[in-house]
Amino acid sequence: MAPNVAKLIPSDPEKVMVIRSITPDIKTFSTPFLRFGRVKIGGRGTAVRLGSGTTAVFSPVALTPTVRAEMASLGPTKYLVALDQEHHIFLEDWHKAFPDAKVIAPETLPAYRDKQGYFRIPEGNWKLFEAGASAQGKLSVDEEFDREFDFTYVDGHANKEVVFNHRKSGTLIEGDLLFNLPATEQFSRSGLDPKSGLLSRLFSWLNSTQGEALAQRRLIWYGICENKPAYNREVNRISGWKFDRIIPCHGDVIETGGKGIFDKVMKWHLEAARKGQ
């Protein structure tokens, strides 16, 4: 783990983590997380047990003793997923605990980790998503994984997002594509108010899904999206999936009505995609 990470995460994640069963096959691991060491956006890992009995872990959080026990109860960990090039800080611990697991990530992540001084995961473990592969219909992990999930690579996003839909439960799992702040659950055991402090209040307002969600819609359209045609295409693809729940990495889980919220936040991109833009 890079030395500058300590100011972003809890000193003792075991004491403040909220572990919850979303369905019999899905568990979430929610913790405090500070963007830039100051902004309370929360962090969340999600584990999904596949029909085969193996498990995929999306955006792994700290591998505490309790997390290890919960993972053992789900089944063998076969897949570790970095949902974008920022959601990787605990990959070293998880890779060492599960050295045979495939590490699914955007193509940019290995070089990004090298630049930041992280542990180098062996080349043979990586399953990297490449720009343009989704548009060409060439994204695949393996047969076991592919039959459980819809997935795509939103390379037009600044953080290079990989996004998944667990078909069986209709659950969208994503990193920084959509926030649902404030991070109430993630700070619920910390004694901290997720909206305390000017920057956290501002970030919560900018990344809310309430009402028309115009602030978040504008933030994505004008700030987060780096390549609009590519972004529009993949967001439109996601909108076509069947899901009701959204598990974001930052903010509360959207238990129901997630498809409508997703389409609301991404409205301008969906309209542009349907115009061929």
Write out the chain's pLDDT in tens, 277 residues.
555 677 778 889 999 999 999 999 999 999 999 998 899 999 999 999 999 999 999 999 999 999 999 999 999 999 999 999 999 999 999 999 999 999 999 999 999 999 999 999 999 999 999 988 877 778 999 999 999 999 999 999 999 999 999 999 999 999 999 999 999 999 999 999 999 999 999 999 999 999 999 999 999 999 999 999 999 999 999 999 999 999 999 999 999 999 999 999 999 999 999 998 8
pTM, two decimals, is: 0.96
- d(CA 68, CA 37) in angstroms, rounded, equals 27
Q: Domain spans of the chain?
A: 3-272
Concatenating the DSSP letter of every residue in the chain gives --GGGTTTS-S-HHHH-EEEEEETTEEEEEE--EETTTEE--EEEEEEE-TTS-EEEES-----HHHHHHHHHH--EEEEE-SSTTS-TTHHHHHHHSTT-EEEEETTHHHHHHHHT-----GGGEEEE-TTTTTTT---S-HHHHTTEEEEEETTBTT-EEEEEETTTTEEEESSSS-B-S-TGGGTTTT--TT-SHHHHHHHHHT--STT-HHHHHHIIIIIBS-HHHHHHHHHHHHTS--SEEEESSB--B-S-HHHHHHHHTHHHHHHHHTT-
CATH architecture of 3-272: 4-Layer Sandwich (3.60)
